[in-house]
Structure 1
Amino acid sequence: MNLPDSEIIVLPGAVAGQSGECRVQWRPTARARQVSLRICPRQGAVVVVLPPRAGRRAGMALLHENRSWVLDRLAALAPATPLVDGGCISLGGQDFLIRHEEEARGGAFLDGRDLVITGDPAFLPRRVADFLRAEARRRIAALVGPHAARLGATPRGILIKDTTTRWGSCAPDGTLAFSWRLVMAPAWVLDYVVAHEVAHLREMNHSARFWALVTRLTPHRAVAVAWLRAHGPRLLRVG
């Protein structure tokens, strides 16, 4: 199947205020049984999953059939937040100014309420993202330890990823994984997600016993879940 990874297409029939233009990411997948669509908030694109023997024509047919849904979902995405000099980034729910100092040394570091990025400006976005990933790992590891100790559990390891559908996960072997983007959320939101996944080390389900463990570890579950529902999509649009 000779398909580009992605392309820009125009879907006809857009309503007022919609250009009909959208980015399509083609995803041939051996395990897929039918053509399907999903929205990738991080890229602001629609992903077309194609099973074996299905080509671009089948994907375009589904796109045209569901064009209103696709365009509405894309239009509802939070605005993209580029990582640029003079831009703003959240850390623990607090805003920090991105300040570029080309001649300075240190890579990336906090200076009061500024995140200072040094060196070649071409590397600024990557260095901001690398800083946030490292900070996420540090803060998450600091939370995992005490929560796991309270339950008498030991995680196999901690992975920091850039997921689009789940903020965290716990593998059957005890490996915990988290989205680095959580570092931008308030500390109590991050604490809830960490506690949620640590509780899975004892209960690999969402039973009443599991939720009792979560409540034991973090009493602010309800407000944290509400925050993620309201503001989580914005985190996916950063960078």
Structure 2
Amino acid sequence: MSKLFAKKQLSVLLAEAGESEKGLKRTLGAGSLIALGIGAIIGAGLFVRTAAAAGQHAGPAVTISFIIAAIGCALAGLCYAEFASMIPIAGSAYTYSYATLGEFIAWIIGWDLVLEYALGAATVAIGWSQYLNKLLTNVFHVTIPYQWCHSPFETSDAGVQGIMNVPSLFILLALTLLLIRGTQGSAIVNNIIVITKVAIVMLFIFLGWKFINPANHTPFTIPG
């Protein structure tokens, strides 16, 4: 039982993460790391889930959810910053838990991270697929058959059952190939995407500001 909760000493972790031929090379600077964080925050959910939550459930009170989420993110960021200053190596929550709670907890955290990233990538890929479908339909007047842009668990109003979401599979494969080429190349592409997304958000705010109607904020929450 004691081996399950065996902790790895900080000196050992630092030695394993030291610069060597087998170790990971530091290729990302502060700007790239900030862009990675922004890229993770501004995703498909910002443009899709926000409208659904405000229009169908929370109404204008969705801003309260944003404030609560922002406070939670700030506290999580402070926790990670403190851990990173104590254990300044790669590995994220897996390494932190290995050094503080033991091997068994680190094993659980590691698989949690795998599940988290897999689910996050899948949901964002599905969101991207819907954007592509709208773009092809509205701009190029090309429609992807329902069964090839939805999963087998979805059925249309006409009774057509999905087979495979090909666009989401394509973007996942494309990003996988990009990551295989290396972290630095991936960071450059991410920086371009982040700049584009931030510009879109700022443009949306700038153009939409004059259309704000305070009358729509009453009632602030949707009545039951």
TM-score by length of 2: 0.27
Larger Rg: 2
Larger RCO (CA within 8 A; separation ≥ 6)? 2
**Larger helix proportion, structure 1 or 2?**
2
Structure (1 or 2) with the greater strand fraction: 1
TM-score after normalising by structure 1: 0.26
